[in-house]
């Protein structure tokens, strides 16, 4: 799907120890390279020796031709302040793979926002351990790959998945209710590139039928959490969370419907923020710029 993006705009994300002169040095560098800063956001955990985070959007005439040179030149500034940084062209659409099982609510939300150009990305493929959603996915013109997973075939299935993801040069993997635990090897291969969604009952009501257990307990809030995947199950850096208030009149099925609505909205927001380079991961936390 062709989604036009400005060819002259780029984004710069920075994380480093806080000290005087960072903003001035970055601004001077961009000015010297003919850039016009159109948006700048920054955050410091502690002005006295804490961690500094910054996100800048800037325009440069003829950016497609000079982008690599600008990145190369910025390395001197980055080295001076020992920055973790990355620079991205807004025009370049990130390549997103979606992993699903049988439930379609998160998948459909992402596909709808993608088709309506609210999520600016390419989706070269969807991978599933079940064939159930093949027709839906292919109706969007997206290739669907059914790769069954069992305890005995898990390693070979992940190898097939990895080969597909690398062949399609995937930038981000979205687990849209993909009901499989990923191996440490797979997670390490795609570090900080995998986004997951789960209900926010955790660590309560673990296991099967969490909404039935929540109904029995009489919960008053239904929520969802989107996070980056790490080896610590469901404990990776949190990107987004939300809740919906319920009461004693809600049945188990009504709780499940509310939960699905929250899940799809939270996951879609997290995906958009990642695609739009609004997230910096530091340790087990994220800084999300609005």
- Per annotation, catalytic residue among 41, 59, 234, 242: 234
Reply yes or no on whether 231 is catalytic: no
User: What is the C-alpha to C-alpha distance for residues 139 and 208, in angstroms, rounded to an integer?
Assistant: 31
Catalytic residues: 234
């Amino acid at each position: 799907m062709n989604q036009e993006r400005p060819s002259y705009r780029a984004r710069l994300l920075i994380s480093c120890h806080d000290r005087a002169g960072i903003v001035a040095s970055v601004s001077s560098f961009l000015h010297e390279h003919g850039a016009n800063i159109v948006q700048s956001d920054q955050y410091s955990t502690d002005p006295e020796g804490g961690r500094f985070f910054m996100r800048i959007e800037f325009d440069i005439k003829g950016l497609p031709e000079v982008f690599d040179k600008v990145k190369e030149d910025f390395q001197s500034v980055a080295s001076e302040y020992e920055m973790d940084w990355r620079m991205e062209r807004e025009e370049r659409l990130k390549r997103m793979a979606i992993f699903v099982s049988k439930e379609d609510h998160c998948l459909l939300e992402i596909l709808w926002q993608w088709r309506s150009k609210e999520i600016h990305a390419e989706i070269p493929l969807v991978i599933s351990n079940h064939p159930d959603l093949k027709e839906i996915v292919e109706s969007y013109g997206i290739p669907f790959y059914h790769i069954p997973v069992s305890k005995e075939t898990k390693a070979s299935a992940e190898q097939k998945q990895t080969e597909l993801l690398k062949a399609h040069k995937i930038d981000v993997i979205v687990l849209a209710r993909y009901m499989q635990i990923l191996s440490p090897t797979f997670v390490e291969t795609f570090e900080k590139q995998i986004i997951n969604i789960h209900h926010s009952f955790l660590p309560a009501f673990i296991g099967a039928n969490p909404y039935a257990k929540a109904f029995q307990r009489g919960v008053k809030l239904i929520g969802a959490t989107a996070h980056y995947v790490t080896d610590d199950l469901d404990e990776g850096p949190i990107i987004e969370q939300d809740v919906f208030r319920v009461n004693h009149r809600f049945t188990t099925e009504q709780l499940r419907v509310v939960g699905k609505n929250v899940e799809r909205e939270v996951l879609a927001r997290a995906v958009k923020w990642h695609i739009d380079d609004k997230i910096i991961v530091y340790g087990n936390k994220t800084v999300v710029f609005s």
